[in-house]
């Protein structure tokens, strides 16, 4: 009943707003030629032939205006402006919002598909249900993505007409495939969503698979546009000397030489990889936030259990995807460096170096939050106290790595501090500000987080494997040798040349990845059919854990906003780096403070819209699996909240 009332209200509101829009539009159009005094003049003109001098003046002026308008030649605008906020911020916010929703829309099918697949293999209905729960978030988000995409396109065309035109000049052949793919995505998405339970499982899985393929393809095309702006050319070993050369896709005057080079440009692949991984992490965290939101609303134990589990899975997806993200980030950064020393230094040592200290704070918070959630999760199990004693050490490791990662190479310091240090870097701490230390820190962070997960996994379970002691020891040895290797390379890095040191990152990463794989491989048989010392009580989580999930989602979103800024801001005053100069008043690079303000506002808008998406998603489709009572309970609460 409540819902009906709301829907009715929305209908009325929509009707009223249509009328208001039409009226307002008419008023604005008419008003341009109908200022009151002029109207009077015109009316009087009809009646009387004699005009007062004032009236005559008005008529003359009007005629002059018209003549001037006719005489004015048509000019192509280069830029247009938006009052108060300016063109850049407008496009910035629109692009960011479009991207956030798009990332979500691309990511959710990815893991919905995987979860559904797992459910199909395991023949467990609860996975299927979970996948559907995730998919429910999709359709509204899809519309949001499309809406903001349209906003963004209009924004670009209106505010940056000349530059948009230039991009069209380069990329016009890609637009048609893009639109067609978009159409296909809509088709697959809706058939996947509405076809749930109506198609056979294999057909349905195929739809999900195609949805992912098409979605990824769309992203790849769009990535070409934006990476072209950063690196308008392809990497290729033209002269065959083993050193990659830069093949420019455009001439010095900006004319297109090769669409292929423009499309498969220098940073295209790194961005693709980075974005897929980041999207999954982001999507998982948002889905977990949704679960947390529903968990907090839930009244019954079943509902709680369900959403607790969903939050857990979402967070699990987010963290698993998050672990390799720093490496994808390094790859991207390295490619940017390789493309242009100027851009590279700009990024790591220049204007943006402080941005990476903020980034360190965000990532540290993310790791801390993720671990925290896992530790709280031990409370779900009977006998979870057993592993609590490890938390202290994990926490110390994480905090240490966090601190190392947040150590700036050159600290903000007062004049006397600089004098005492003999420069802007501290004799001891500056070691922590270098790449070796930071690589080590992030690897240890990853290991620690995985350790938390392992502990969580075995809380309340007792292995029944015949060689359990041996296997557990093997795990410990693998774990500690990976950690030792990482630390060894980190320390040894200070004793060798930079050229060699840089290569140390690779064995560090590999030893961590290998450790993760080996430990997992051992862990699977070790805890197969493990004896439960107590039951896992889904839904038995303190509320603070759910807020932690939302905090994680928020940090992720903010981080994405920040990284989006640095990627785009790197170009500084260039539209297309080295080719098309931005000559608008917004060409300067704003302060970090301002950028973070814009990011914050964007994030707040996004979460506001997300609230709407969550609410809409929770409206429909419950009766399929949930008992009536639960659905009613949920509705009552949501209705109450909305009212």
Partner 1 sequence: MWGLNLPIVLALAAIGGVLVWRRAHTLVWLLYSLGALWAFFKFGFVVPIPQSVATIYLAITGLALVAYASSSRERLAETVQPIKRLILEPRYRLALAGLLVALPALAAYNAYADLTMPLEAPGFGREIHPAPPPEITVHDETVNMTTGDNPYLHYKADDPELYGKHLENGRRVYYENCFWCHGDGMGGDGMFAHGLNPVPSNFNDVGTLPALQSSFVHWRIAKGGPGLPGPGTPWDSAMPAWEKFLTTEEMWDVNLFIYDFNGFEPRALGQH
Partner 2 sequence: MTAQTRLRRQVAATFAVATVLLPLSASAQVDLGTEEQRAAGKVVYDKYCGQCHGDTGDGNGYATPRVKPKPRDFTTGTYKFRTTPNGMLPTDDDLRRVIEIGAPYTSMPGWPNLTSTEIQNVIYYIKSFSPDFENPDRYAEPIDIPRPLESTEESIARGRVVYEEQGCGACHGEAGRGDGASAPTLVNDKGDPIRAADLTQRWTYRGGPTKEDIYRTFSTGLNGTPMPSYADSLEVEDRQHLVNYVYSLGDADDPNYGTLITAVYSEEPLDLQDEEALDALFESAPMTRFPLVGQITEPGRNFFPPVTSIEAQAVYNRDEIAFRVRWHDLRADTSGRNNPSLEVPMWDEDNGIGGDATDAAGDSDDFFGDFGGEEAPAEDDFFGDSGDDFFGDGGDDFFGAADAGAGGAEFSDAVALQFPASLAPEETPELKPYFLYGDAQNPVDLWFVNLTYGVADTFRGRGSDSIEATEADIVEAVTSYDQGAWTVTYKRRRSSRAGVSFAEEQYTPVAFSVWDGFNRERGNKRALSSWFYVYTEPSAEQTVAGPVLRAALIVLAIELLVVFLVRRRARQQAAGEETAGTLTATEAPAV
Partner 3 sequence: MKLSVPMPVRLVLLVVGTTAFYMYLGQIVPQKEAHPPPPVLISAEMTTEDLVAVGAELASGKGQCLVGCHTVGQSGPLRYPDLDGIGARAATQIEGLSGLEYLAQSLYEPAAFIVPGFADGMQPIDQPPISLSEDEMKAVIAWLQSLGGTPTVTLDTDLGY
Q: Restricting to residues 604-643, which ones interact with partner 3 according to CB under 8 A?
A: 604, 607, 641
* Minimal distance, residue 476 CB to partner 1, in Å: 22
353 near partner 1 (CB under 8 A): yes
Q: Count residues binding partner 2 (CB under 8 A).
A: 12
The answer to whether the CB of 607 falls within 8 A of the CB of 557 is: yes
Using CB under 8 A as the binding rule, whether residue 541 contacts partner 2 is answered as yes
637 belongs to the binding site for partner 2 (CB under 8 A): no
Q: Are 253 and 579 in contact, with CB atoms under 8 Å apart?
A: no
Q: In terms of CB distance, is 293 or 387 closer to partner 3?
A: 293
C-alpha separations of 550 from 18, 341, 377 in Å: 36, 39, 15
Best CA proximity match to 536, nearest among 434, 459, 599, 597: 459
- Select from 544, 533, 547 the least CA-distant residue to 385: 533
Task: Please choose, out of 29-37, 301-309, 494-502, 622-630, the segment that lies near partner 1 by the rule CB under 8 A.
Answer: 494-502
- How far apart (Å, rounded) are the C-alpha atoms in residues 203 and 221? 27
d(CA 209, CA 216): 11
Judged by beta carbon distances under 5 to 8 A according to partner kind, the member of partner 1, partner 2, partner 3, none in contact with residue 540 is: partner 2
Binding mask 507-546 for partner 1 (x = CB under 8 A): -----------------------------------x-x--
Token pair 């004799």: residue: 427
Binding of residue 423 to partner 3 (CB under 8 A): no
Cβ density class 103-115: b for 16+ within 10 Å, e for less: bbbbbbbbbbbbb
Stretch of residues binding partner 3 (CB under 8 A), selected from 7-15, 64-72, 289-297, 320-328: 289-297
Residue closer to partner 1 by CB (options 288, 394) is 394
DSSP 419-447: HHHTSSS-TTGGGTTSHHHHHHHHHHHHH
Cα 399 to the chain's mean position, in Å? Answer: 25
The DSSP code sequence of 164-217 is HHHHHHHHHHHHHHHHHHHHHHHHHHHHHHHTTTTS-HHHHHHHHHHHHHHHHH
Q: Which of 367, 383, 140, 167 is nearest to 254 (CA)?
A: 167
Stretch that binds partner 2, among 111-119, 430-438, 537-545, 581-589 (CB under 8 A): 537-545
Taking CB under 8 A as the binding criterion, the range among 4-12, 73-81, 92-100, 358-366 that sits at the site for partner 1 is: 358-366
Give the other-Cβ count within 10 Å of 623's Cβ.
Answer: 9
Taking CB under 8 A as the rule, does residue 364 contact partner 1? yes
| Residues in 421-440 that interact with partner 2 by CB under 8 A | 422
Smallest separation (angstroms) from partner 2 to the CB of 546: 9
x/- contact string, 544-583, with partner 1 (CB under 8 A)?
A: x---------------------------------x-----
| List 59, 184, 361, 496, residue binding partner 3 (CB under 8 A) | 361
Which of 51, 221, 334, 587 is in the footprint of partner 1 by CB under 8 A? 334
From the list 241-249, 341-349, 417-425, 471-479, the region that binds partner 2 by CB under 8 A is 417-425
Distance between CA atoms of residues 371 and 203, nearest Å: 38
388 binds partner 1 (CB under 8 A): yes
User: What's the CA gap between 467 and 549, in Å, rounded?
Assistant: 37
| Residues 586-615 interacting with partner 1 (rule: CB under 8 A) | none
Helices (H), 197-300: 201-230, 259-263, 268-297
Please return the burial class of 497, using the count of CB atoms within 10 Å of its CB with bins 0-12, 13-18 and 19+: exposed
Min. distance of Cβ 369 from partner 2 in angstroms?
Answer: 14
CB of 591 to partner 2, least distance (A): 9
User: In sequence order, which residues have a C-beta less than 8 Å from that of residue 201 and are 6 or more positions away?
Assistant: 120
CB of 570 to partner 1, least distance (A): 10
- The burial of 263, by beta-carbon neighbours within 10 Å (0-12 exposed, 13-18 middle, 19 or more buried), is given as buried
- Using the rule CB under 8 A, is 600 a contact of partner 3? yes
Whose structure tokens read 């420069």? 423
Q: Which is nearer to partner 1, 371 or 508 (CB)?
A: 371
Nearer to partner 3, 132 or 556 (CB): 556
256 contact choice in partner 3, partner 2, partner 1, none (CB below 5 to 8 Å, kind-dependent): none
Task: Identify the residue whose tokens are 């000559």.
Answer: 583
Question: Which partner from the list partner 2, partner 1, partner 3, none does 430 bind, CB cut-off 5 to 8 Å by kind?
Answer: partner 1
Contact call for residue 414 and partner 1 (CB under 8 A): yes
Residues 537-566 that bind partner 3 (CB under 8 A): 547, 550-551, 554-555, 558
Among 70-78, 341-349, 405-413, 415-423, which window interacts with partner 2 (CB under 8 A)? 415-423
For residue 244, the number of C-alpha atoms closer than 13 Å in the C-beta half-sphere is: 12
> Of these partners, partner 3, partner 2, partner 1, none, which one is at the site of residue 554 (CB under 5 to 8 Å by kind)?
partner 3
Residue 416 interacts with partner 1 (CB under 8 A): yes or no: yes
Helix (H) or strand (E) holding 333: helix 325-339
Residue among 3, 162, 465, 540 that touches partner 2 (CB under 8 A): 540
Closer residue to partner 1 (CB): 502 or 587: 502
Residues 189 and 139 sit within 8 Å (Cβ to Cβ): yes
Neighbours of 364 (CB within 10 A): 22
Contact by Cβ (8 Å): 562, 361: no
Q: Binding mask 243-282 vs partner 2 (x if CB under 8 A, - otherwise)?
A: ----------------------------------------
Where on the chain is the footprint of partner 3 (CB under 8 A)?
293, 296-297, 351, 354-355, 357-358, 361-362, 412, 547, 550-551, 554-555, 558, 572-573, 581-582, 587-597, 599-600, 603-604, 607, 641
Where on the chain is the footprint of partner 2 (CB under 8 A)?
296, 415-416, 419-420, 422, 540-544, 547
């Amino acid at each position: 009943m409540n819902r009906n009332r709301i829907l009715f209200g929305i209908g009325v509101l929509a009707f009223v707003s249509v009328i208001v829009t039409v009226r307002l539009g008419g008023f604005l159009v008419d008003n341009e030629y109908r200022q009151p005094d002029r109207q009077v003049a015109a009316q009087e003109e009809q009646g009387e032939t004699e005009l007062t001098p004032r009236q005559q003046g008005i008529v003359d002026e009007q005629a002059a205006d018209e003549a001037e308008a006719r005489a004015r030649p048509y000019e192509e605008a280069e830029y247009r402006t938006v009052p108060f906020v300016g063109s850049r911020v407008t496009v910035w916010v629109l692009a960011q919002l479009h991207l956030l929703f798009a990332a979500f829309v691309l990511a959710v099918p990815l893991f919905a598909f995987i979860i559904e697949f797992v459910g199909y293999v395991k023949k467990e209905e609860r996975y299927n249900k979970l996948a559907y729960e995730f998919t429910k978030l999709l359709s509204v988000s899809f519309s949001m993505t499309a809406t903001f995409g349209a906003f963004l396109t209009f924004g670009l065309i209106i505010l940056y007409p000349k530059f948009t035109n230039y991009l069209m000049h380069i990329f016009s052949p890609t637009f048609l495939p893009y639109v067609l793919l978009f159409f296909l995505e809509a088709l697959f998405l809706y058939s996947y969503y509405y076809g749930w339970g109506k198609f056979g499982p294999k057909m349905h899985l195929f739809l999900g698979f195609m949805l992912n393929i098409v979605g990824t393809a769309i992203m790849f095309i769009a990535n070409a546009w934006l990476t072209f702006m950063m690196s308008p050319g392809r990497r290729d070993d033209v002269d065959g000397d083993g050193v990659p050369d830069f093949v420019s896709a455009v001439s010095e005057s900006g004319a297109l030489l090769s669409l292929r080079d423009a499309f498969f440009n220098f940073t295209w692949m790194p961005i693709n990889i980075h974005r897929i991984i980041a999207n999954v992490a982001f999507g998982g965290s948002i889905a977990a936030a949704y679960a947390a939101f529903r968990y907090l609303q839930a009244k019954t134990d079943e509902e709680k259990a369900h959403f607790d589990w969903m939050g857990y899975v979402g967070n699990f997806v987010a963290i698993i995807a998050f672990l390799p993200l720093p490496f994808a980030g390094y790859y991207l950064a390295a490619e940017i460096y390789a493309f242009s020393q100027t851009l590279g230094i700009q990024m790591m040592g220049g204007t943006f170096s402080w941005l990476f200290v903020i980034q360190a704070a965000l990532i540290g918070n993310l790791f801390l939050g993720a671990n925290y959630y896992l530790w709280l999760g031990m409370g779900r199990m009977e006998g979870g106290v057993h592993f609590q004693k490890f938390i202290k050490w994990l926490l110390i490791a994480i905090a240490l790595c966090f601190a190392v990662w947040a150590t700036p190479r050159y600290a903000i310091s007062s004049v006397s501090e600089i004098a005492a240090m003999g420069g802007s870097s501290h004799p001891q701490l500056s070691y922590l500000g270098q790449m070796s230390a930071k690589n080590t820190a992030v690897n240890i962070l990853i290991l620690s987080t995985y350790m938390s997960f392992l502990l969580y996994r075995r809380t309340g379970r007792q292995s029944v494997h015949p060689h359990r002691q041996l296997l557990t020891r093997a795990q410990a040895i693998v774990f500690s040798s990976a950690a030792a290797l990482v630390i060894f390379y980190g320390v040894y890095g200070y004793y060798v040349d930079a050229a060699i040191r840089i290569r140390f990152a690779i064995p560090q990463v590999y030893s961590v990845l290998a450790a993760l794989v080996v430990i997992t491989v051992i862990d699977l048989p070790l805890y197969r059919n493990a004896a439960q010392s107590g039951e896992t009580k889904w839904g038995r989580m303190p509320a603070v854990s759910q807020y932690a999930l939302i905090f994680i989602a928020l940090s992720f979103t903010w981080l994405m906003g920040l990284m989006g800024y640095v990627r785009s801001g790197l170009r500084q005053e260039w539209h297309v780096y080295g080719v098309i100069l931005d000559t608008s008043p917004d060409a300067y690079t704003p302060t970090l403070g301002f950028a973070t303000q814009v990011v914050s506002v964007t994030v707040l808008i996004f979460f506001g819209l997300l609230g709407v998406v969550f609410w809409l998603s929770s409206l429909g489709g419950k009766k399929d699996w949930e008992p009536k009572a639960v659905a009613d309970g949920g509705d009552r609460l949501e209705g109450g909240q909305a009212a």
